[in-house]
């Protein structure tokens, strides 16, 4: 099947963006990541107008939905390029854009360092030997699966890269530390930062719940973190 691949391109954050279109003639079982790799393998790479263009800048690492590096907007929805297959998308035109909530680096690459800085500010690390409860094993495991790809932040109406609200990714990762930490002073520090950087800023829209590309139980983890911090449960 022949697909038209529309890509929003931009040399840098200060430059103007523009659209380029390419043709991909391949299997419907191909992933978007496979499409991008195939396009960049062309020598030279030409757009649909016959112009020779520079390779498309995008990020990837594991290619098996484990790292979150290839997060982007695919047909206006945040997804992972490695696990989004053409047969799951409607029509024969595929639109690719960078995530809009983070500073652009180039083309489909954005700077997600703010996401990781917010986790540091929440003090999300252990100061004591982890306390393990068998009845919380499953939610702790789910918390640890978070790819920190930023898809949940892309759809969050309260998150912005320059703001103080840390978003669902912080609450999801906080549960594991809140559940395992035994040092009370550190727990109090995490709780205080959590209230300021997550709980007080969340509008409870839960737009983050259904967007997770690996299907984390986001709502459950948010509830558990909120309960631990606010109600001491």
Percent of the chain with pLDDT over 90: 89
pLDDT in tens, 7-64: 999 999 899 999 999 999 999 999 999 999 999 999 999 999 999 999 999 999 999 9
Question: What pLDDT does 13 receive?
Answer: 87
| Mean pLDDT value of segment 109-125 | 93
What are the start and end residues of each CATH 1.10.1060.10 domain in the chain?
A: 112-231
161: pLDDT strictly greater than 90: no
- Residue 38 CA to residue 29 CA, distance in Å, equals 14
- Which band of pLDDT confidence, cut at 50, 70 and 90, is reported for residue 131? confident
Contact status, residue 72 vs residue 16, Cβ threshold 8 Å: no
- Which band of pLDDT confidence, cut at 50, 70 and 90, is reported for residue 232? low
Question: What pLDDT does 122 receive?
Answer: 93
Q: Which residues of 42-77 are buried (b: 16+ CB within 10 A; e: fewer)?
A: eeebebeeeeebeebbbbeeebebebbbbbbbbbee
Choices 3.40.50.1820, 3.10.20.30, 3.40.50.880, 3.30.1330.10: CATH for 2-110: 3.10.20.30
75: pLDDT strictly greater than 60: yes
State the DSSP code for 148. -
Q: For the chain, what is the mean pLDDT? A: 94
233: pLDDT strictly greater than 60: no
Q: At what angle do helices 113-121 and 168-180 cross, to 10 degrees?
A: 40
- Which band of pLDDT confidence, cut at 50, 70 and 90, is reported for residue 89? very high
What are the start and end residues of each CATH 3.10.20.30 domain in the chain?
A: 2-110
In CATH, what is the architecture of 112-231?
Answer: Orthogonal Bundle (1.10)
- Residue 37 CA to residue 54 CA, distance in Å, equals 13
- Residue 101 CA to residue 197 CA, distance in Å, equals 17
Chain center to CA of 191: 24
Alpha helices by DSSP H, listed for the chain, are: 32-40, 113-121, 137-144, 151-154, 168-180, 184-194, 218-226
Question: What pLDDT does 132 receive?
Answer: 85
């Amino acid at each position: 099947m022949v697909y038209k691949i529309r890509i929003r391109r931009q040399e840098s954050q200060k430059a103007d963006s523009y659209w380029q279109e390419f043709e991909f003639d391949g299997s419907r079982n191909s992933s978007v990541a496979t499409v991008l790799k195939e396009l960049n393998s062309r020598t030279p790479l030409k757009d649909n107008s016959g112009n020779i263009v520079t390779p498309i800048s995008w990020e990837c690492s594991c290619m098996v939905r484990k790292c979150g590096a290839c997060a982007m907007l695919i047909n206006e929805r945040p997804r992972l390029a490695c696990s989004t297959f053409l047969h799951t998308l409607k029509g024969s035109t595929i639109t690719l854009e960078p995530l809009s909530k983070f500073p652009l680096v180039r083309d489909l690459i954005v700077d997600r360092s703010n996401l990781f800085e917010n986790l540091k500010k929440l003090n999300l690390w252990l100061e004591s030997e982890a306390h393990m409860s068998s009845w919380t094993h499953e939610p702790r495991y789910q918390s640890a699966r978070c790819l920190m790809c930023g898809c949940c932040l892309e759809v969050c109406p309260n998150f912005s890269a320059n703001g103080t609200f840390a978003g669902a990714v912080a609450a999801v990762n906080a549960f594991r530390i809140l559940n395992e930490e035994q040092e009370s002073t550190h727990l109090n520090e995490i709780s205080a930062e959590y209230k300021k950087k997550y709980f007080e800023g969340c509008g409870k829209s839960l737009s983050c719940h259904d967007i997770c590309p690996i299907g984390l139980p986001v709502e459950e983890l948010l509830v558990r973190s909120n309960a631990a911090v606010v109600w001491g449960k």
